[in-house]
Structure 1
Amino acid sequence: MKHEADPEDAEPSSSTQVAGGEAILRGKATINDVARLAKVSKKTVSRVINESPFVKQKTRDAIKAVIAELGFTPDPQARALARRKSFLVGLVYDNPSPQYVVNIQRGILDALEGTDFQLVLHPCDRSKPDHVARIQSFIQQHKPFGLILPPSVSEDEPLALALNEADVDYVRIASVELDTPSRMIRTLDGDGGAAAGRHLADLGHRHIAHIHGPLSFRSTHERRAGFERALAETGLVLRPEMAVEGGYTFEGGVVAAEHLLAQPNPPQAIFAGNDEMATGAYVAVRRAGFRIPEDISIVGFDDTPIAGRLWPALTTVRLPIREMGSAAATLLLQTADGMTAKKLITFSPEIIVRGSTAAPEAP
């Protein structure tokens, strides 16, 4: 005898009904199906898929519920093809300070966490005449979603022009305003240099030297200009022989400090344009038999991890490099998502006083 099947014994449905009675097989749904069921635009679904932060949580939850119900799985290759770009964010840099690059990298990774985007590094050499062509080749090969350009690559106007002509999204990090707010993170390096100058002058130092970075970096000029501005406030002048280039490197800091200490009248204090050079200055000062800070005070710039590990710990100007990298990556994703930044994102430095600075000892 034939028995009718009990409805409760039936296999679970592998399809979902949509308006009009259309059945969608689980795992065969398209982004259009998700949008139709969630009653939102295809663009909104795409934003949720791409982990855009610019979708209301209620809408995001509804879309994700539909995606789960349909078993919809976005195809990364198809998404990249639709964009004609990959899901790679390129960090293009030419910076002699490895710690600066590492901190920028960590900040970018903070912003990309939880998304499908990956970071790819592309070191370059701006001194080579074909460096723009090399970056263009990198873009053609990897088709990055966008680029993040820290100093000094950010200051390269021919590169910015080439990226604009190629319709490549990018964000520049620089000490001066070089671009529109949607493509720019500004750091007030001049204010940091001024903070260093005021700190040393307020301690009572009158014979102060400066070890600066490469002249090809705008940050070098901004930090020095701020430093000299602060000295002038108290009637002091940075004498030409007291300003030496250190190239933003540890080795450069050693050589520059040795040059300063070999002068007939060595400085009471040194402001180094970054922590790498300040660390080099420590070595030169101690080799010459001077004490820090009793004989010579030293101030750095950036507040990289080495600053707190030196003895005595280094007084330095803190620039939130990791946060800058995160902000640049977030701005890049926002711009690609159709968001237009109207206000320039700016980071202000602050001086962190530690043990490497003190008032000069009485003669």
Structure 2
Amino acid sequence: MPAPRKPRKTASDAPLPPGKSATINDIARLAGVSKKTVSRIINRSPLVREETRERVEKLMRDVGYVPDPLARGLAFRRSFLIGMVYDNPTAQFIVNMQYGALDALRDSGFELVVHPCDSRSPGYIDGVRRFVQQQKLHGVMLVPRVSEDQALADMLDGIGCRYTRIAALALDDHSRMVITHDRDGAAEAADYLQTLGHRDMAVITGPSSYRSAIERTGGFVDALARRGIELPKSRILEAGYTFESGVAAAEKLLAGKRRPTAIFCANDEMAAGVYRVALRMGIDIPRQLSVIGYDDSPLASRLWPPLSSVRRNTRDTGRVAAAMLIQADDDVRGRPLASVRPHLIVRDSCQPPET
């Protein structure tokens, strides 16, 4: 009868040679984890499961492993920086997004670095690549409009940099997306104006190259269509998400003999431009013209009368996007689609139209 086979030793079972000091490679081999995981544990990264952390830390104590301070400093720099890349003309939106990201990163050991860019300039993707590589970023938040650029996302994927994309609808794998549901927010604004009795309405939208502008306009127009109201193309004016472009669009809409009774603006900056033109032309808001904005920025409550606006919780959006970047890999895979839903904040800028 053959003798029973002895279990074969694997490389990970092999003890350290006598007199040899353990290295990070030895710890990874003995623990059966990657060198990257050991580095994260050394630097107190939250991206490691607690069970793995405890097992590896016990092994390091048992073999007397002491991390090299220089190597640890380099690893710290690489692992604990989150970037935020944006191309957005609205300062308050960017500030709120940063506040949200900082909320998520507080007490995590991670820090936020920002990179404004011009997505219309040639070579801007190369600029983002240099930013990521020079800062050795752990991950990147992509804020609209750059979040809508598939070439940018492909570049980050190609260099192995994790990222999250904030957009009006799903453009990527669920583990990389935060959806803002802009279409639903605009539809709520349309439903509200229709219930007040408005039928002759207009839209001042953002640039047609922005997905948010497409979704907000589409949501408003489709909601009216479901209620039997068709919005003529002449009542949809493209602007630039700025106060000045809102003024220019409002001048066109309000100069004619047949003015709309309500205007939906795709952001609050453009709605403020409508207020400026209405004041100059002696048009009373809301008695003669109802106005709704989008974003519910601090500007909305400072206008007079206070502006009804779709709140999209920009700070919460930034918090969710940053939190996804510092989650452990196992916690991100298979997670449900992250989203932050907008809702209309009703103030004093709307009322039923004059008969």
TM-score, normalised by the number of residues in structure 2: 0.83
Asked whether the equivalents of residues 208 and 269 of structure 1 are also in contact (C-alpha less than 8 Å), the reply is yes
Match of 1:280 among 273, 277, 286: 273
Shift of 1:326: 0.5
The answer on 1:90 being equivalent to 2:83 is yes
Shift of 1:82: 4.0
Q: How far, CA to CA, are the matches of 2:345 and 2:328 in structure 1?
A: 34
Shift of 1:96: 1.4
Match of 2:315 among 311, 318, 322: 322
Asked whether the equivalents of residues 181 and 340 of structure 2 are also in contact (C-alpha less than 8 Å), the reply is yes
Shift of 1:168: 0.9
Give the structure 2 partner of residue 18 of structure 1.
Answer: none
TM-score, normalised by the number of residues in structure 1: 0.81
Q: 1:338 to 1:353 in 2, by over 3 A?
A: closer
Deviations 1:110-154 (A, max 9, x none): 011112221111011111121111111212221211110011101
Give the structure 2 partner of residue 240 of structure 1.
Answer: 233
**Paired amino acid for 1:165:** G
Shift of 1:171: 0.4
The answer on 1:259 being equivalent to 2:252 is yes
Match of 1:175 among 168, 181, 185: 168
Q: How far, CA to CA, are the matches of 2:254 and 2:50 in structure 1?
A: 61
Q: 1:235 to 1:130 in 2, by over 3 A?
A: same
- The SS at the match of 1:334 is coil
Shift of 1:48: 8.6
Q: How far, CA to CA, are the matches of 1:196 and 1:48 in structure 2?
A: 51
Q: State which drifts further: 86-95 or 215-224.
A: 86-95
Q: How far, CA to CA, are the matches of 1:347 and 1:48 in structure 2?
A: 34
Give the structure 2 partner of residue 52 of structure 1.
Answer: 46
> 1:166-315 maps to which residues of 2 (within 5 A)?
166-315=159-308
Give the structure 1 partner of residue 123 of structure 2.
Answer: 130
**Paired amino acid for 2:172:** D
- The SS at the match of 2:326 is helix
Q: How far, CA to CA, are the matches of 1:331 and 1:117 in structure 2?
A: 13
Give the structure 2 partner of residue 156 of structure 1.
Answer: 149
Give the structure 2 partner of residue 115 of structure 1.
Answer: 108
Give the structure 2 partner of residue 101 of structure 1.
Answer: 94
Q: How far, CA to CA, are the matches of 2:291 and 2:152 in structure 1?
A: 36
Shift of 1:109: 0.5
Q: How far, CA to CA, are the matches of 1:48 and 1:273 in structure 2?
A: 47
**Paired amino acid for 2:273:** G
**Paired amino acid for 2:46:** S
- The SS at the match of 2:144 is coil
Give the structure 1 partner of residue 18 of structure 2.
Answer: none
Shift of 1:85: 2.4
Asked whether the equivalents of residues 47 and 328 of structure 2 are also in contact (C-alpha less than 8 Å), the reply is no
> Percent identical across equivalent pairs?
45
Asked whether the equivalents of residues 40 and 48 of structure 2 are also in contact (C-alpha less than 8 Å), the reply is no
Q: 1:47 to 1:317 in 2, by over 3 A?
A: farther
Shift of 1:83: 7.6
Shift of 1:81: 3.3
Asked whether the equivalents of residues 24 and 67 of structure 2 are also in contact (C-alpha less than 8 Å), the reply is no
- Number of matched residues? 333
Deviations 1:157-209 (A, max 9, x none): 11111111111111000011111111111111100110011011110011101
Shift of 1:300: 0.6
Shift of 1:346: 1.4
Asked whether the equivalents of residues 299 and 314 of structure 1 are also in contact (C-alpha less than 8 Å), the reply is yes
Shift of 1:86: 4.9
Q: 1:47 to 1:213 in 2, by over 3 A?
A: farther
Asked whether the equivalents of residues 299 and 357 of structure 1 are also in contact (C-alpha less than 8 Å), the reply is yes
Asked whether the equivalents of residues 183 and 216 of structure 2 are also in contact (C-alpha less than 8 Å), the reply is yes
Unaligned 5+ runs, structure 2: 1-21
- The SS at the match of 1:355 is coil
Q: 1:286 to 1:334 in 2, by over 3 A?
A: same
**Paired amino acid for 2:117:** C
**Paired amino acid for 1:340:** R
Unaligned 5+ runs, structure 1: 1-28
Deviations 1:62-89 (A, max 9, x none): x8xx99xx9x9995x6346348825221
Q: How far, CA to CA, are the matches of 1:88 and 1:167 in structure 2?
A: 15
Deviations 1:193-249 (A, max 9, x none): 100110111100111010001111101011111101111122111111111122111
Shift of 1:352: 0.8
Q: How far, CA to CA, are the matches of 1:84 and 1:313 in structure 2?
A: 46
Q: How far, CA to CA, are the matches of 1:322 and 1:48 in structure 2?
A: 32
